[in-house]
A and B are shown apart, each in its own frame.
Chain A
Amino acid sequence: ETGVTQTPRHLVMGMTNKKSLKCEQHLGHNAMYWYKQSAKKPLELMFVYSLEERVENNSVPSRFSPECPNSSHLFLHLHTLQPEDSALYLCASSQGRSVLNEQFFGPGTRLTVL
């Protein structure tokens, strides 16, 4: 595997379910990100991890819980979601957090909350 991979690619869940999204980067990067893209809205940054520590949390509801066990893996744990949380969730990684360091994106997980 190369680049940034995300699993699952599609997920349908009920509002009472608990699920997790997984991201893995094979680029040796030390920063990882979760983004949300809702229909007809811009890409929104949710969380940033640098050297496995969370450094940004953009007022994301607590029903989204990130976890970064090591520099290659990033999870987004989901519980008691709402239908408006249906969106494309994208993971990205970069070597350092400077804007000059390109962010590499995964293909995303298309989440539908019923």
Chain B
Amino acid sequence: DQQVKQNSPSLSVQEGRISILNCDYTNSMFDYFLWYKKYPAEGPTFLISISSIKDKNEDGRFTVFLNKSAKHLSLHIVPSQPGDSAVYFCAATWYSGGGADGLTFGKGTHLIIQP
């Protein structure tokens, strides 16, 4: 059973608007969450992370929100730019013991920014 779920395989957003990518998790042990971005023919690159002691982390145009009670996190990109078109992976682990080995990934959401 998937512990990290990204239920939208793809998302299309107009340039300049906000992109919202969603991720749900089932394992209550998870306390650290990461977003990775992947372009075709390249490996994933780390984008932003959040610890369970926070409910929001912001880095430039990217903001991750965490709702622990709903076991839900989301990545907001505003404003969306053509270069943001990529596949976005959500990943989760438990910092207290899992280490980087314990990263559990979602299937990814393909974000398409339309001009």
Contact = CB atoms under 8 A, between A and B. Distances in A.
Interface string A75-114: 0000000000000001110100111111111111000000
Given A41-B107, A42-B107, A45-B101, A107 B41 contact: yes
B101 A55 contact: yes
A34 to B, nearest CB: 12
A97 B101 contact: yes
Nearest to A110: B41
Contact of B107 (A40, A104, A106): A40
A45 B93 CA distance: 13
Interface residues of A, number: 29
Most chain A CB within a 10 A radius of its CB, from B89, B101, B106 = B101
B99 A97 contact: yes
B59 interface: no
Contact of A99 (B2, B42, B98, B105): B98
Contacts of A9: 41
Contact-residue bracket for chain B: 20 to 34
Contacts of B34: 99
Interface stretch (B10-18, B43-51, B62-70, B72-80): B43-51
B53 interface: no
B98 A105 contact: no
Contacts of B41: 9, 107
Interface in B80-115: 89, 91, 93, 95, 98-108
